[in-house]
Each structure stands twice: as C-alpha cells, then as structure tokens.
Amino acid sequence: MQTDKVEGDSMERASKVIARAGYCSRRKAEQYIKEGKVEVNGKIIDIGTKVNPNDLIRIDGSFLSKEEKEYILLYKPRGIVTTTSDDKNRKTVIDLVQSTNRIYPVGRLDYDTTGLLLLTNDGDLSHLLMHPKSCIDKTYIVKINGLFPPVMLKKICNGVVIDGRKTAKAHARVKKYDKKTNTSIVELTIHEGRNHQVKKMFNQLGYQVLKLKRETYSFLTLEGLSSGEYRHLTPKEIKKLYNEVYKK
C-alpha cells in the first residue's frame, strides 16, 4: 500500500510534464494529446493520462527530452512577430535570441508594439504568468492622437467596455502633451492580458494608438537594454516571479 501511494504521488498529467520539459505550452500539449499525437510507452494517451518520471513520452514521432530551464528578457523591436515561426517568413522573436532550447514567448506583443517580452521553456511558469488569476501588472507607454484630458483618464482607469466586457480598473497618467503634433503620451498599467487590449481601450474612447511600448512586467524593466537586445533572468528574479504568481 505504501509503495502504491508513493508512485501515485509522483505521477502527473502528461500535458504538465510535456510543458515542464520545455517542449511547448500546456495548452499546446493538450491539443497534441487530443489529436492523438502523444504516446506514453508506445501507447496513444487521452487528455487525463498521468505519467511517472520513468515513462517514455513521444510527441508526433519525437521522444521528449528534458531541457535545462531558460528564462530570457527581450527588448522586442518594432516589426517582429511574437511567435516561434511565421508562415509569411517574417522575423520572429525567437530569431533574436541565441538558445539551444525550445523556448517560446510568454504572451504576445503585436507586430508594431515594442518593449519587454519574456521567453522561456518553463511551461509551468509560463502558464501561471498568463493565467487571469495571476493579475501581473504590465506598464505601457502609449502615444495617441489628441489631448487626453482628466475626464478620459478617469474613464480608462475605471474600465471601458471592449468586446462586450468591461476591463478591470487600471492606473494611468499623462506624461506629455505636444501641441505642435497634437499628440499625448500616456502611461497605462493594467493586469489583464486580453487580445489587443491597450489599443482597444483607447479606440473605445475615440483615440488612435500611434505607438505602443511595454515598459515593465511585474518588477522587471528594460533597464540596460537597447531595442533587440536581451538578457537572462537571474535566479533571484526567477524565484521572485514564482512568488508573484503563487501569492495571488
């Protein structure tokens, strides 16, 4: 009885093990399983299958190998797609970093958006950071057309309805207004990660986003980096990120 309990405690869902090994995200792993592309010890598995550390996992014909965890902070330039590959042969964020591991971006930044982007092969951390319950603060610098008066600041801070649903409360301030170009620079901090959220929030209020840059992600900043450069996170930063999502 005791032996069975120990073995059961060490078993985890195959999708979680695949993600932790750095092969892909947990969601993508579940998709592979549903498509019948994942085998454990030579047998095709279903979505609820659990595995132990000694099982042989094969995904779409390739055996799963454990990679050393890697965590990269990239200053994404404009005109780069946030994917691991692109069917239009555009340059991707993966092309900007040197890594022998199968890393992938945590969330997305639009093609024309610049700024801080994390890349990793740690599927567990990636999943936790992108989960809505994590509420990770992200600060953006937004250039828009026209003057952004206090009444608009109040509206965007209280939340606006996009895609039929109101955004969560945010923090915003106007950093600069240029009379000559009739443009404003607004600093906006949100903790959601909805598709094209920042652009849609300003569009809903009648403004066009001319430039968009992510300045911070939780406690992480772009300090010391120029556009297109990257660095590896320190062990202390990795631990702090885990603490951020686990305390929510």
Token digits for 13?
């869902």
Nearest Cα residue to 143 out of 76, 218, 199: 199
CA atoms within 13 A on the CB side of 33: 22
Whole-number Å distance between alpha carbons of 109 and 219: 18
Catalytic residue among 110, 124, 137, 178: 110
Cα-based angle 139, 142, 148 (whole degrees, multiple of 5): 115
Residue 233: which H helix or E strand, with range?
none
Whole-number Å distance between alpha carbons of 5 and 13: 16
Burial of 212: CB neighbours in 10 Å, binned 0-12, 13-18, 19+: buried
Residue 101: CB atoms within 10 Å: 16
Q: Are strands 114-120 and 209-217 parallel, antiparallel or unpaired?
A: parallel
Place of tokens 């986003």: 209
Question: Is 46 a catalytic site residue?
Answer: no
- Contact between 104 and 71 (Cβ < 8 Å): no
What is the set of active-site residues?
Answer: 110
